[in-house]
Amino acid sequence: MNSPDPINTFDWTTFKGPQKWIEQSTILMVKSGSVAYGTTVEQSDVDHKGVAVGLRRHYHGFLEPFDHIEQTKPDLSIFEIRKFFRLAQKGSPAALEILFTPDELVVQQSLCGSILRENRHAFLSKNILQPYLGYAKSQFKMITQQYQTKLSYNTKPAYHLVRSLRCCTEMLQTHNLLVQRPDAEQLVQIRRGAWSYEQLAHFYEQTTSLINQLALTTSLVGQPNILKLEQLCQEIIYLHDPK
């Protein structure tokens, strides 16, 4: 796994939280959102997501809990590694995208982060169905309510709905998550209003039906190997701080 380009780094002087130790504890950080998808438009920001191993006191004490750090402007979200493992093995899009973002968008990566990404396929299973389909369902419900009220709809959740369902379909078919989208140009056009509500509704019904069929025939495992992931998590925590 290649090391991140030194020019392609996160500016830690923009971090606003009191947890100044987080820079050294972060084992993996990637550019996320529209930059990762290849769907940037004029108003797009550069978002970052990452994974960190906490300090020893976070594992041996209770006064300073740490499982997630989040800030805006610039947008940054960092998961404590155990929480990250729990989310990723359940098929969380936010977690899986960190693992499958292209190498050129990795902005910080230690040996532990490299090991984590090298094992990314161990997290994929049919567990993706609930979060991906659930997200698409909630977005389609919101869009439908908007359309019924205003005869128009917010195109940003529409493009995310299409992207999410296509990612789910591809994972069932290829056992791989394409974060950087080969259909990025079309997704940008959908965000700019290229699809009517009727086109979107047809896509939603057709694609969810296909996903439900693929769920019955895919060779993707039903559940990830939890014991293997548990061992991996422990190894990474120990490797990060072996003392």
The partner residues of 71 in beta bridges, in order of sequence, read 76
pLDDT computed for residue 2 by the predictor: 47
At 63-100, the pLDDT tens digits run 788 899 999 988 999 999 999 999 999 999 999 999 99
Q: Is 55 helix (H, G, I), strand (E, B) or coil?
A: coil
Mean pLDDT over the full length of the chain: 93
Domain 22-123+224-240, what fold? Answer: Beta Polymerase; domain 2 (3.30.460)
**Residue 175 burial (CB count, 10 A):** 14
Using alpha carbons, list the distances in angstroms from residue 144 to 76, 166, 194.
Answer: 31, 20, 17
| Residue 110 · residue 28 · CB < 8 Å | yes
What are the boundaries of each domain within the chain?
Answer: 22-123+224-240, 126-217
Residue percentage of the chain with pLDDT more than 70: 96
Task: Give the closest residue to 128 by CA, choosing from 95, 79, 82.
Answer: 95
pLDDT computed for residue 44 by the predictor: 73
For residue 6, name the pLDDT band (cuts at 50, 70, 90). very low
pLDDT for residue 1 is more than 50:
no
Task: Report the pLDDT averaged over residues 28-33.
Answer: 96
At 32-54, the pLDDT tens digits run 999 999 998 877 788 999 999 99
Q: Output DSSP code: residue 106.
A: E
- Bond prior to 157 in cis (omega within 30° of 0): no
Owner of token pair 């529409």: 158
Please, which residues have CB within 8 angstroms of residue 203's CB and are 6 or more apart in sequence? 162, 165, 195
pLDDT computed for residue 164 by the predictor: 98
